[in-house]
A and B are shown apart, each in its own frame.
Chain A
């Protein structure tokens, strides 16, 4: 048990420290790196609890995909300048919205933790048997039977938001030349070479 608690405190100290660094560090890129460290240590904590599937999914989805996008955005955009204009400029609408969201999340956390406190048999009253079968099997059994509607709805919402994001950035521009692989491959000499007799001192007009 000693090794277990040593590792638990190791990962949780890293998680708390790095989440503090995310909001306090001056450079945005360091914030993102600390966020990644935070995700990784939270994933390790999940694995220590025995939720190995969730831990791995956190690593794959958050660290392997979402945080890469964060890094991309931070590296490509000039975030420092943006930040300056938010905090120095007077008409900042971001801070109140951020405050509202964080208060809401805090309230939700309080409700969840409080529920746990007042209904302590919540875990044991579940119909699932936690010891016999592996974590992944349990999730699969619940997700595709009891919660199939929510699961599918979440998928549809994600798909919709993806299509929405594509539509928002999609812009049809005129005069852009596109390569068609089919045309490029199916070219042959008779369709692409034309022989013309050119009169001297007069050019030939070639249409595009």
Chain B
């Protein structure tokens, strides 16, 4: 019995060691997002609370915690309260398989990519549940839009992941990174990287695809009826998802924790730092795009997903597999 308690304590310690940095970095990333947005528009952005305004998000969080949580009288209470919890839990649970270096990973499972894909496809439930349980028309419309959008873009993300997996021959995230030691997949699969990036924008409901919360049409989409800490949880979940998508992009295409070139002065930088730098680079692009690209129209969004990205990534899949087959480069498994 003592053994179990010890193992359990050990696991909880490891989970906290992963979760606390993620929550802190989500807070920092919100600051970075607003700061980049401000600088692009020649404003200063948040710069008052703490050094460079770094503590702005903490101040906001404190404000949310002390606000009253209002539950609409006609809402389905259980589902209404469950929705932000589901969103936030799913966004944090996915981080269990992300390897920060060869040793630094909470659970190194065989089907890591599938796990990430499954968890990100479950993310749609938080939104649908929140939109439906509010029992109000704007949240419902926003939720339906968002669900259709996320389901459509998952299809192309899936095919892009298959492209990468063909070059690796394993579903383990560690193997995917180690397969990029000679050449990052961003070079041979550059079109796929671009499509992955755009699909990740759509999957996380970021501008220019933030139609579920298009202010002019739907107030605040599925979040309209939420207030206080429950709204903050949606918001935290959204940013944790964005960070997750950045981590996924850097593992699949930018070589994860691998340094740019494996020569002396560069490769002494520890592996997790490289991973974090790559995630930050991708997030910087996310933030920049939020500031410079206008919002898409809904039919344009659907057309882009189904009529352009899906056929293109399917054709690229055929090209990749025929290239690998013709030059006999298909990965040989160890069986």
Contact = CB atoms under 8 A, between A and B. Distances in A.
Interface stretch (B112-120, B194-202, B322-330): B112-120
A133 B333 contact: yes
A136 B121 contact: no
A137 B140 CA distance: 42
B128 A56 contact: no
A65 B121 contact: yes
A62 B333 CA distance: 29
A53 interface: yes
Contacts of B124: 64, 68
A52 B144 contact: no
Instruction: State the majority secondary structure of interface residues on A.
Output: helix
B122 A64 contact: yes
B66 interface: no
Most chain B CB inside 10 Å of its own CB: which residue of A3, A64, A135, A179:
A64
A29 interface: yes
Interface in B294-326: 299, 303
A137 B175 CA distance: 14
A57 B151 contact: no
Nearest to B335: A133
Contact of A68 (B110, B111, B115, B147): B147
B4 A3 contact: yes
Contact of B128 (A52, A68, A141): A68
B171 interface: yes
B335 A132 contact: yes
B333 A56 contact: no
A42 interface: no
B4 to A, nearest CB: 7
B114 A57 contact: yes
Contacts of B61: none
A50 B303 CA distance: 40
A181 B300 CA distance: 9
A136 B111 CA distance: 8
B151 A56 contact: no
Interface in A57-100: 57, 59-60, 63-65, 68, 71-72, 75-76
Contacts of B128: 68, 71, 75
A33 B79 contact: yes
A60 B333 contact: no
A142 to B, nearest CB: 13
B81 interface: no
Given A52-B111, A53-B111, A60-B118, A65 B151 contact: yes
A2 interface: yes
A2 B151 contact: no
Contacts of B335: 132-133, 137, 141
A54 to B, nearest CB: 10
A36 interface: yes
Interface in B105-155: 109-111, 114-115, 117-118, 121-122, 124-125, 128, 132, 140, 144, 147, 151, 154
Contacts of A134: 110
A56 B122 CA distance: 12
A76 B147 CA distance: 13
A137 B111 CA distance: 11
Nearest to B116: A56
A75 B333 contact: no
B110 A136 contact: yes
A57 B118 CA distance: 8
Given A33-B79, A68-B151, A72-B144, A56 B125 contact: no
Interface string A16-37: 0000000000000100010010
A184 to B, nearest CB: 11
Contacts of A2: 4
Contacts of A59: 118, 121-122
Contacts of A68: 124-125, 128, 147, 151
A64 B111 contact: no
Nearest to B150: A68
Contacts of B140: 75
14 contacts: A2-B4, A56-B118, A59-B122, A60-B118, A63-B118, A64-B122, A65-B121, A68-B128, A68-B147, A71-B132, A72-B147, A135-B110, A136-B111, A137-B333
Pairs A-B, 4 closest by C-beta atoms: A64-B121, A56-B114, A59-B118, A133-B335
Interface of B: 4, 79, 109-111, 114-115, 117-118, 121-122, 124-125, 128, 132, 140, 144, 147, 151, 154, 171, 299, 303, 333-335
